[in-house]
A and B are shown apart, each in its own frame.
Chain A
Amino acid sequence: MTRYEVRISGFGGQGVITLSKMIITASSLYENLAATQTEAYSASARGGRCWAEVVVDLDKEIKIINYPKALKPYDFLIILSEESANLIKPEDIKKDENTGYLIWDPSTIKKFRAVRRIEKALSIPVQILAVENFGNIVFGNSILFGAFTILSGFISEESAIETIKNFVPSSTLDKNLEAFELGKKEAQEFLKQLKEGKD
């Protein structure tokens, strides 16, 4: 049992649920791993506080995830609103090697108290990058998906690209792939810094 617990939270409309569906699709359909996804429902998904969780089992022998909700401490947190940032405590996230990543968006979160005490915290101004580079905040999803793919390490690039093709309209595919590359680069840079920091 090697559960990988992912939680994404923000507010409705930021693509929280779409991103979680991209993660479960990539890991279950393309990587053949057992996975479940749960999400906020009704009003909260349409503008209120919104969350989604994905549990993936990295053991290929496991066919089904037992407990469907993500268990604390998480392997991966993506935090996109100040309200959800306030609920995060440093102990909510794993401290082991190659896991325990946090991605947060400083363009929507002014103050993130716990972040100083989280070792592997990567800030990407997703909304600003999406608007400046691609003209619409919806591309933020592909940026985050790119960063997730690199940091989590269990989704191959081919699987990730197939997933994006599944999710976005074909007219915006090129821009989404560019956004995906941008996210990847941010994450690769971050991993490099982490490594240098250790050395």
Chain B
Amino acid sequence: MKNNKRYLPEGKYVMMGNVAMAEGALAAGLSFFGGYPITPSTEVIEHLSKRLLEVGGSCMQMEDELGSINAVIGASLVGAKAMTATSGPGLSLMVETISMAANLEIPFVLCDVQRIGPGSHGPVTAPHHNDLGLIRFAGHGEFQVIALAPMNCQELFDLTIEAFNFAETYRCPVFILSDAYLGHLHEPIYIPPKEEIITRVINRELPQDYTKKFSYKDDNIGGYIIPKPPIIGTDYFPLMTLHLPHNYEGLPGVSALLFMEILIEKIKTNIDKISITDEYKLDDVDIVIIAYGLPVRACYHAVDIARKEGIKVGIFRLVTVWPFPDEKVKKVVKNVRAIIVPELNYTGFIAEQVERVTKLETPIIKIPKVGVLHHPDDILKVIREVSK
């Protein structure tokens, strides 16, 4: 009875971004949310505090962000699909536990509704894609994460399901990069029928092999194997070493170097499956725009106008922002005259990656914005200048 409420009836709804994200999490099988309210992510915990009870899950408001992320990790260890939502200042408090979770390969999803920073002051409801610098190496030690950047409310729903699937499959921290603007946007979204959602969701399963519960390198096939996560309190999880590099049983026995290799390469070698990208009018381009998140929407608008003026410009969109798809970008920027990278931050975290990949052979023009969205004219102006 209770699980019938997990899925909203098929149909069209007008939803706030934060709520669409929360509904996506429920559809993905979320059963535990631990969080501490912080603008602009508060609607997530507000909505889930009602909805999780309806589906027999739990939503805990913890005493702070440290408590929140630890509760999430604990819930995931006992077999729940778990997540938290926060914003920049909360995220920075969570990184120690995120590192621990990465070490133990505990799946969880973190929705970061980014706001202006640094620090906890200022216009907290302004969007700022400033956390990517932290998220891509979210903690101490070395590990890889997955970060997805939706750009509308429908994607907040759909990509959250994808985020949970990535967490279950690759057993690494998975981030949803929302922002203050997107989180509060209202848009119509389509919720597919329950039967269709179920086919999209990867459920929590126990490892097939009793002894193999952590990722390992299989020299026979020359690849990395990621078993399903073990669940504490079952026979699969009597042993673990938190303080040492561990082998697939959770016991010491691998070198630190090999352990790092496994944590990182298990993601990097699967980049083709993890990296979701989208192309818009890229067939014959002179100029390519590389963007992610909300700024992409201003780019579509600008590109449509520029195309009418005869400028050959297109968009390469990163849906998966991290890991960065080096090979795809190399292919896209081949033979282009210039690359435009509009980002909702000053530094240009993705522009830096593009610079690394292109070895500075092609001019890269950043369009930084902080706290306000790119107006289509901001992008159009640069396109026109570059095309001269």
Q: Using A29-B14, A66-B298 as known contacts, say yes or no to A71 and B188 having CB atoms under 8 A apart.
A: no
Count of chain B residues with a beta carbon within 8 Å of a chain A beta carbon:
25
- Neighbouring A residues of B187 by C-beta, 8 Å: 24, 28, 35-37, 65, 68
Name the interface residues of A1-36: CB closer than 8 Å to any CB of B: 1, 21, 24-25, 28-29, 34-36
Name the interface residues of A154-183: CB closer than 8 Å to any CB of B: none
- Neighbouring B residues of A38 by C-beta, 8 Å: 181, 184-186
Q: Using A28-B12, A42-B125, A64-B152 as known contacts, say yes or no to A21 and B298 having CB atoms under 8 A apart.
A: no
Interface of B, secondary structure class, is: mixed
Give chain B nearest CB distance to A17 CB in angstroms: 9
| Complex contact B12–A37 (CB within 8 A) | no
Query: Is A69 an interface position by the 8 A CB rule?
Result: yes
| Complex contact B301–A25 (CB within 8 A) | no
| Complex contact A66–B12 (CB within 8 A) | no
Q: Using A41-B125, A68-B185 as known contacts, say yes or no to A25 and B14 having CB atoms under 8 A apart.
A: yes
Query: Is A39 an interface position by the 8 A CB rule?
Result: yes
| Complex contact B40–A41 (CB within 8 A) | yes
| CA of A21 to CA of B19, assembled, Å | 15
Query: Is B248 an interface position by the 8 A CB rule?
Result: no
| CA of A159 to CA of B154, assembled, Å | 23
Q: How extensive is the interface on chain A, given as a class?
A: 20 to 34
Instruction: Find the B residue at minimum CB distance from A42.
Output: B125
Q: Using A28-B14, A42-B125 as known contacts, say yes or no to A36 and B185 having CB atoms under 8 A apart.
A: yes
| Complex contact B184–A39 (CB within 8 A) | yes
Query: Is B98 an interface position by the 8 A CB rule?
Result: no
Most buried by B among A25, A28, A41: A41
Instruction: Find the A residue at minimum CB distance from B188.
Output: A28
Interface of A, secondary structure class, is: mixed
- Neighbouring A residues of B39 by C-beta, 8 Å: 42
Instruction: Find the B residue at minimum CB distance from A41.
Output: B125
Query: Is B139 an interface position by the 8 A CB rule?
Result: no
- Neighbouring B residues of A39 by C-beta, 8 Å: 184, 186
- Neighbouring A residues of B125 by C-beta, 8 Å: 41-42
Q: Using A28-B12, A28-B14, A42-B125 as known contacts, say yes or no to A66 and B301 having CB atoms under 8 A apart.
A: yes
**A65-101 interface code vs B (CB 8 A; 1 in, 0 out):** 1111101000000000000000000000000000000
| CA of A21 to CA of B21, assembled, Å | 19
| CA of A1 to CA of B185, assembled, Å | 21
Give chain A nearest CB distance to B188 CB in angstroms: 4
Name the interface residues of B349-387: CB closer than 8 Å to any CB of A: 373, 375-376
Query: Is B304 an interface position by the 8 A CB rule?
Result: yes
| CA of A68 to CA of B301, assembled, Å | 10
Name the interface residues of B125-172: CB closer than 8 Å to any CB of A: 125, 152, 154
Query: Is B237 an interface position by the 8 A CB rule?
Result: no
Q: Using A38-B181, A67-B298 as known contacts, say yes or no to A29 and B12 having CB atoms under 8 A apart.
A: yes
Give chain B nearest CB distance to A80 CB in angstroms: 20
| Complex contact B184–A67 (CB within 8 A) | no
Give chain B nearest CB distance to A140 CB in angstroms: 21
| CA of A64 to CA of B185, assembled, Å | 13
- Neighbouring A residues of B47 by C-beta, 8 Å: none
Query: Is B297 an interface position by the 8 A CB rule?
Result: yes
- Neighbouring B residues of A24 by C-beta, 8 Å: 14, 186-188
**A33-54 interface code vs B (CB 8 A; 1 in, 0 out):** 0111111011000000000000
Query: Is B294 an interface position by the 8 A CB rule?
Result: yes
Query: Is B236 an interface position by the 8 A CB rule?
Result: no
- Neighbouring B residues of A37 by C-beta, 8 Å: 14, 185-187
| Complex contact A1–B152 (CB within 8 A) | no
Query: Is B300 an interface position by the 8 A CB rule?
Result: yes
| CA of A28 to CA of B181, assembled, Å | 20
| CA of A66 to CA of B296, assembled, Å | 8
| CA of A42 to CA of B13, assembled, Å | 24
| CA of A67 to CA of B376, assembled, Å | 7
Give chain B nearest CB distance to A165 CB in angstroms: 15
Most buried by B among A28, A34, A42, A68: A68
Give chain B nearest CB distance to A185 CB in angstroms: 28
Q: Using A24-B14, A66-B298 as known contacts, say yes or no to A36 and B376 having CB atoms under 8 A apart.
A: no
Instruction: Find the A residue at minimum CB distance from B39.
Output: A42
| Complex contact A29–B301 (CB within 8 A) | no
| CA of A38 to CA of B154, assembled, Å | 15
Give chain B nearest CB distance to A132 CB in angstroms: 32
- Neighbouring A residues of B376 by C-beta, 8 Å: 66-67, 71
| Complex contact B186–A36 (CB within 8 A) | yes
**B284-328 interface code vs A (CB 8 A; 1 in, 0 out):** 000000000010011011001000000000000000000000000
Give chain A nearest CB distance to B195 CB in angstroms: 23
Give chain B nearest CB distance to A114 CB in angstroms: 22
- Neighbouring A residues of B12 by C-beta, 8 Å: 28-29
Name the interface residues of B157-211: CB closer than 8 Å to any CB of A: 180-181, 184-188
Interface residues of B, Cβ cutoff 8 Å to A: 12-14, 39-40, 124-125, 152, 154, 180-181, 184-188, 294, 297-298, 300-301, 304, 373, 375-376
Shortest 4 CB-CB contacts between residues of A and residues of B: A28-B188, A37-B186, A66-B300, A41-B125
Q: List 8 A-B contacts (CB under 8 A).
A: A41-B125, A42-B39, A42-B125, A66-B304, A67-B301, A67-B375, A68-B187, A68-B297
- 4 additional contacts (CB under 8 A) given A29-B13, A66-B300, A67-B301: A24-B187, A28-B188, A35-B187, A68-B297
